[in-house]
């Protein structure tokens, strides 16, 4: 049995070391060096070119190198019967939580305003009204962010398709409860999965439901945000700004207006990343589960896209 790692823009050396330590019996190759293709039973992939995954005739499962799986589900050549497993990594989750908490605190505690005051040698304490936080998407990372922000004393609400309960969080579910969720969110954090249903979800109509002066934090995918609508609402002062870590095109083009729009902070997709040293255990456990005919943790429902 062998596994092929498919990642086009980064070294796989750390993955090779981690997998060799946890599963020495597993033969691991790095694309395009696959070894005998009829021995490959698993791929660990991020953004493989179309038809690459389908080129392995005896594949048993597809493991994503990240929490997102749209790069697999949008490849029409991938056999639909194959299980797809999203990445679950405690280090990735922790880093995402740190980024979201940082962005919420920076906005709530008016860090930009105090930096501007310092540049003007102005001793002025900013107004710090209470702020309610909304988490859009309550998967593994969304739940962790919601719980941490609630522990910091924020009034946190969450919104998801099914509305599974989260301790200490006011949960909203479905399209009918979206307006009520948005109308109480002074800071909106987007952690939605990328699916056909969530593309362009943060458009003028949705963002206009937020309270005047609300702030957006997007750490999910760039396709969730309609760029021109966000820029317009910031210019109109309906929104006070945004912190954005994911974009429709990456790297963000130098001439994109996000770079220069007052109130918008751009970061280069650094909110979280998978750490092979800790994530390799999830890969090995998923392979063991599939081999045993069991349900692996992180198995994706193709109907919902997550």
Contact 185, 210 (CB under 8 A): yes
What does R_g of the chain's alpha carbons equal in angstroms?
21
* Interatomic CA distance for residues 99 and 94, integer angstroms: 9
* Interatomic CA distance for residues 43 and 84, integer angstroms: 10
Residue 297: CB atoms within 10 Å: 13
Q: Which residues contact 74 (CB under 8 A, 6 or more apart)?
A: none
* Interatomic CA distance for residues 55 and 98, integer angstroms: 39
Q: Which residues contact 213 (CB under 8 A, 6 or more apart)?
A: 186, 237, 238, 239, 240
Contact 174, 101 (CB under 8 A): no
Q: In the Cβ-directed half-sphere of 248, how many Cα atoms lie within 13 Å?
A: 11
Q: In the Cβ-directed half-sphere of 25, how many Cα atoms lie within 13 Å?
A: 4
**Residue found by looking up tokens 């540049």 in the block:** 119
- The number of angstroms, rounded, from the C-alpha of 239 to the middle of its chain's C-alpha atoms is 22
**Residue found by looking up tokens 């990594």 in the block:** 89
Q: Which helix (H) or strand (E) holds 31?
A: none
Contact 259, 280 (CB under 8 A): no
Catalytic residue list: 221, 269
Q: How deeply is 112 buried, as exposed, middle or buried, from its count of CB atoms within 10 A (0-12, 13-18, 19+)?
A: middle
């Amino acid at each position: 049995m062998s596994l092929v790692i498919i990642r086009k823009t980064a070294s796989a050396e750390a993955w090779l070391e981690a997998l060799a330590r946890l599963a020495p019996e597993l033969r691991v190759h790095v694309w395009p060096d696959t070894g005998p293709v009829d021995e490959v039973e698993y791929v660990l992939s991020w953004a493989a070119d179309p038809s690459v995954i389908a080129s392995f005739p005896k594949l048993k499962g597809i493991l994503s190198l990240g929490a997102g799986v749209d790069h697999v589900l949008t490849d029409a050549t991938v056999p639909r019967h194959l299980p797809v497993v999203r990445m679950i990594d405690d280090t990735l989750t922790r880093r995402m939580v740190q980024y979201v908490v940082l962005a919420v605190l920076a906005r709530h505690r008016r860090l930009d305003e105090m930096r501007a005051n310092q540049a003007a040698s102005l001793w002025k304490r900013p107004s710090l009204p209470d702020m309610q936080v909304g988490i859009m998407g309550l998967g593994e990372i969304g739940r962790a962010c919601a719980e941490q922000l609630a522990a910091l004393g924020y009034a946190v609400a969450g919104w998801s398709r099914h509305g599974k309960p989260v301790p200490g969080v006011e949960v909203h579910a479905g399209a009918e409860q979206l307006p009520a969720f948005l109308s109480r969110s002074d800071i909106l954090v987007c952690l939605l999965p990328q699916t056909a249903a969530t593309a362009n979800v943060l458009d003028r109509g949705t963002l206009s439901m937020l309270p005047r002066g609300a702030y957006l934090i997007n750490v999910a995918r760039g396709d969730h945000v309609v760029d021109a609508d966000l820029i317009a609402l910031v210019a109109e002062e309906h929104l006070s700004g945004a912190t954005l870590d994911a974009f429709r095109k990456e790297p963000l083009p130098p001439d994109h207006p996000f770079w220069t729009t007052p109130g918008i902070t751009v970061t280069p997709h650094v909110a979280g990343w998978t750490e092979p040293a800790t994530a390799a255990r999830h890969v090995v456990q998923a392979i063991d589960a599939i081999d045993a005919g069991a349900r692996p943790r992180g198995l994706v429902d193709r109907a919902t896209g997550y």
